[in-house]
Structure 1
Amino acid sequence: MTLRTFVSALGVILALLLTAVAVPTAWVDQNIVKEEGFVRLAGALGRDPEFQSRLATAAVATFESSVDLPGPIQSLAAGALRSATSGMQSWSDYPQAWEETVRNSHRLNFGAVNQSEESTSSTALVLDIGPMVRLIRDHFAEATRISIDVPAESRVSLGEPSHRQLVERVAAFAPLWWVAALGALISLLLALVAARRRSLVLVFLGLGGLALAALWTAGADLAGGVVGNLSSGNGVAELFKEEFLTAAKAGFGEWTLTAAVVSGAVFVAGVIGSFVSGRRGSRSAGS
């Protein structure tokens, strides 16, 4: 093996290894760590009819448990709450309340909101459904003429305190995905410059990219299973976790599919290039 071949092979290996890290961390940074990406990903859940119905049922249950209604008005309240359960998703202010729920939850979990040291050290990941509870309160007051005070925040747990530490690490390191991406690009250029037959570099890059796409798919399934096993003990939090995982896997799946298509195209280009190069070599030898 010549030095040029060794350097080219090393460049291909480094490019694939760094890409294996860069792509998932870039997706996490853009769609989970960054607030707008998180809102876009989770906000779509609020437009899903089945999720809306299940969320309304769970949110009403949370509202009932957070207020102490006097006995004489409990029967009146029951009718209003049943109406909220079946019709919350049709309220004009529901989308705004859901978006606020998503934004507040992201800020609480990713540190955009100042929290006391005691709070951050003792709480797990949280879902703040305060906007949903206030929405129910407002419509309840409109229907019954009864004003009820509810907490400004209604936090429900998503997992354990150790899971918050993991999220904090992700929030710290995911934005550095560009370092791995830059390293992969430099390694790729090194492999192409050093290679005697650049078409072979494309072949191996394409094969490696297809393998990475399969690896990312398996890794996403594994990560989803681990996160799915986290218990919250609250219906709303469980619903959010289940539906968000589904949306996240679908979103990352689009990136994986794109990577597989690009890798396949690179592989085909490399094969065609090798074939053309081989024919040229044969003609040169024959002449």
Structure 2
Amino acid sequence: MRFVLTALLWLLTTVMLAVAVPAVWAQQNVVSEQGYADLAASAATDTRLQDAMADELTTQITALVADRGYGLNEMLVHQVAAAYTGNAGFPGQFGQANRIAHRWMFTDDIPHANTDDQWLIDIAPMLSDPSLAATLGNLDLDVPDTLMVPVTVPSPELRPGRLQTIATWGPWVSIGTAVLTGVLALLTLASSRRRGKGLAALGVSALLVGAAGWAGLEVANRYVDDALNRTEGNFRRIAEEMVIHAEDSLHHWLNLTLIGGVALVVIGVVASMLGGLRRQPELTGGVER
């Protein structure tokens, strides 16, 4: 009966750990506005994202100038934009721009949204950067306070605040799953006849979850590609780099899970061996007596 209880607790622990790892990662890096901005800023250090953003800024600057009756050398504009996206201040501004994109999807705080079927991002802060503003200033052009450009093609599935429920309950779910996983792990240890074997079993749980996570990401890639097909123009390339960076971050978490699993298995095996050596003299002594 005790074995059945321990096995059940171990199974529940494994399932909860499989839920907790992606849930906590998603809360920290996607659902959290600060976490998402930090993820975007980190991704913006990649040269491929910088090149894609320079192309988009070139397009927007050229269109802005054309609307005011001017013409600019597009190659020169691209050189200026590339210099801007390559400087140290760009990642922070890219992260800030993604804050507004995050609010569009996760909250109803979207005062500048002018459409309800496309995901928008405000690039006005980037165009207001001194290195870019100086180029536009020579033409007596003012960058608007906000310049919302669409990230995705129009879709009835996209609307402001669609993921607000996730933003509300995400923190509770991530905390709850993490705490419940810890409680179940402790109960599994408490019900085990041998603590060493219990630790090793929990290590196996972590190894299973880490391996399943890697496999799950491979399967999810095709669905990610479908989502990327909804992005427009240069933002497709930008979104691809963001996804790659997010996957690298989740892979890091899964690797830590695997490392933790290996450590628990090793500790459990060593503890079992030491326990066996400690019990052996007692058994031998009992036979001699």
User: Would you say same fold, with TM above 0.5?
Assistant: yes
Count of equivalent residues: 280
Which amino acid in the other structure matches residue 129 of structure 1? I
- CA deviations 1:171-214 (Å, max 9, x no partner) are 34431211112211221222222221121111211112111101
Structure 1: distance between partners of 2:96 and 2:253? 27
Choose 84-93 or 56-65, whichever is displaced more: 84-93
**Deviation at residue 103 of structure 1 after TM alignment:** 2.0
Structure 1: distance between partners of 2:202 and 2:241? 35
Which runs of at least 4 in structure 1 moved beyond 6 Å after TM superposition? none
Q: Which has the higher contact order (CA 8 A, sep 6+)?
A: 1
Structure-1 residue corresponding to 2:232 = 234
Choose 251-260 or 214-223, whichever is displaced more: 214-223
Structure-1 residue corresponding to 2:10 = 12
Choose 26-35 or 228-237, whichever is displaced more: 228-237
Listed as ranges, the gaps of 5+ residues in structure 2 are: none
Structure-2 residue corresponding to 1:128 = 122
**In the alignment, is residue 188 of structure 1 matched against residue 182 of structure 2?**
no
Aligned with 1:147: secondary structure? Answer: coil
Listed as ranges, the gaps of 5+ residues in structure 1 are: none
Structure-2 residue corresponding to 1:111 = 107
Match of 1:162 among 139, 157, 164: 157
Tell me if the contact between 1:60 and 1:133 (Cα under 8 Å) persists in the aligned partners.
Answer: no
Tell me if the contact between 1:88 and 1:94 (Cα under 8 Å) persists in the aligned partners.
Answer: yes
Structure 2: distance between partners of 1:270 and 1:172? 39
Structure-2 residue corresponding to 1:44 = 42
Q: Percent of pairs identical after alignment?
A: 23
Structure-2 residue corresponding to 1:252 = 250
Match of 1:205 among 202, 207, 212: 202
Tell me if the contact between 2:37 and 2:95 (Cα under 8 Å) persists in the aligned partners.
Answer: yes
Tell me if the contact between 2:124 and 2:143 (Cα under 8 Å) persists in the aligned partners.
Answer: no
Which amino acid in the other structure matches residue 146 of structure 1? D
**Deviation at residue 240 of structure 1 after TM alignment:** 2.2
Aligned with 2:255: secondary structure? Answer: helix
**Deviation at residue 15 of structure 1 after TM alignment:** 1.2
* TM-score between the two structures when normalised by the length of structure 1: 0.83
**Deviation at residue 91 of structure 1 after TM alignment:** 6.0
Tell me if the contact between 2:106 and 2:164 (Cα under 8 Å) persists in the aligned partners.
Answer: yes
Tell me if the contact between 1:133 and 1:154 (Cα under 8 Å) persists in the aligned partners.
Answer: no
Which amino acid in the other structure matches residue 26 of structure 1? V
The structure richer in helix per residue is 1
Structure 2: distance between partners of 1:197 and 1:92? 55
Which amino acid in the other structure matches residue 102 of structure 2? H
- CA deviations 1:156-179 (Å, max 9, x no partner) are 133644366874454344312111
Match of 1:88 among 54, 73, 84: 84
**In the alignment, is residue 216 of structure 1 matched against residue 213 of structure 2?**
yes
Structure-1 residue corresponding to 2:263 = 265
Structure 2: distance between partners of 1:156 and 1:252? 27
